[in-house]
Amino acid sequence: MSRGNGHLAAFPFSIDRCPLSVVRWFFVVLAAIALSGCDQMYDQASVRPGESPQFLPSTGTMAASIELPVAPSEALRLKNPLEKTSETLAAGRIAYRRFCWPCHGPQFDGQSATVGPSFARGNLNLLDPAIAAKSDGEYFRHVTYGGQVSPPFAGVMTVEERWQVITYLRAVQAQENRGQAPHFK
């Protein structure tokens, strides 16, 4: 059953006899057919077994938990609702380490291993007098919506966590102003 070139006679088609362009086109067409239905997955409603379908809300409705935007002029008037207690400072220190430390560093000076020379740098030094002079509301707005190089944290930090970080930062800035080295433990 074998031919002189080593192929079985029962199998009349051999890929090594096809021109390379035909083989390429075959795989391109095969890939196009296979991928043609992939985008439909994003357009369909997904309901798990036992769930009822979720319908879109009526036009003009707003989720109860949405944060309304804070205008820059309003941010100047925002006051920190938290008192400076040991619990608030401890929670602020934890939130700072989780969310802020990677860019602002352990010394609050913007010198961190995460932010390397290829990162577009702004003034990341939170102890800089120009940064420390900002109001609590300006800090809150910046942490919430982000800045030129800062990401917005509204989706990952609660409102309380943002105020806790600001309370903690103010305590560190006050220590720095008194000439004391801030403690980071």
pLDDT at 185 (0 to 100) = 42
Go through 137-159 and write b for each residue having 16 or more CB atoms within 10 A of its CB, e for each that does not: bbbbbbbbbeeeeeeebbeebee
Looking at the fold, whether 23 and 78 belong to one and the same domain comes out as no
How far is residue 70 CA from its own chain's centroid? Answer: 20
Looking at the fold, whether 20 and 108 belong to one and the same domain comes out as no
Neighbours of 97 (CB within 10 A): 14
In a domain, 148, yes or no: yes
- Show the domain range for 84: 72-177
In a domain, 55, yes or no: no
> Who has greater pLDDT, 121 or 152?
152
The yes-or-no verdict on residue 25 having pLDDT over 60 is yes
If pLDDT is split at 50, 70 and 90, which confidence band does 139 have? Answer: very high
On whether the CB atoms of residues 70 and 141 are closer than 8 A, the answer is: yes
Distance in angstroms (rounded) separating the CA atoms of residues 52 and 34:
31
In a domain, 52, yes or no: no
What CATH number corresponds to the domain at position 118?
Answer: 1.10.760.10
Looking at the fold, whether 86 and 166 belong to one and the same domain comes out as yes
What's the mean pLDDT in 86-95? 96
> Who has greater pLDDT, 23 or 9?
23
The yes-or-no verdict on residue 179 having pLDDT over 90 is no
What's the mean pLDDT in 124-153? 89
Neighbours of 98 (CB within 10 A): 13
Looking at the fold, whether 162 and 109 belong to one and the same domain comes out as yes
Looking at the fold, whether 87 and 8 belong to one and the same domain comes out as no
pLDDT at 79 (0 to 100) = 93
In a domain, 167, yes or no: yes
Looking at the fold, whether 90 and 141 belong to one and the same domain comes out as yes
The Cα-based distances of 66 to 21, 60, 74, 155, 157 in angstroms read 56, 14, 18, 10, 13
Looking at the fold, whether 85 and 164 belong to one and the same domain comes out as yes
Of 17-21, 34-38, 117-121, 174-178, the range with the lowest mean pLDDT is 117-121
In a domain, 24, yes or no: yes
If pLDDT is split at 50, 70 and 90, which confidence band does 184 have? Answer: very low
In a domain, 46, yes or no: no
Number of domains in the chain: 2
Distance in angstroms (rounded) separating the CA atoms of residues 167 and 144:
15
In a domain, 56, yes or no: no
In a domain, 59, yes or no: no
> Who has greater pLDDT, 105 or 143?
143
Distance in angstroms (rounded) separating the CA atoms of residues 157 and 100:
11
| Contacts (Cβ under 8 Å, ≥6 apart) of 89 | 167, 168, 171
Looking at the fold, whether 76 and 29 belong to one and the same domain comes out as no
Looking at the fold, whether 29 and 77 belong to one and the same domain comes out as no
Looking at the fold, whether 90 and 137 belong to one and the same domain comes out as yes
If pLDDT is split at 50, 70 and 90, which confidence band does 26 have? Answer: confident
> Who has greater pLDDT, 16 or 86?
86
Give the model confidence (pLDDT) of 38-72 as tens digits.
Answer: 655 555 556 666 666 666 666 776 655 556 677 88
Looking at the fold, whether 1 and 87 belong to one and the same domain comes out as no
Distance in angstroms (rounded) separating the CA atoms of residues 175 and 185:
14
> Who has greater pLDDT, 70 or 136?
136
Looking at the fold, whether 26 and 85 belong to one and the same domain comes out as no
pLDDT above 70: percentage of residues in the chain: 63
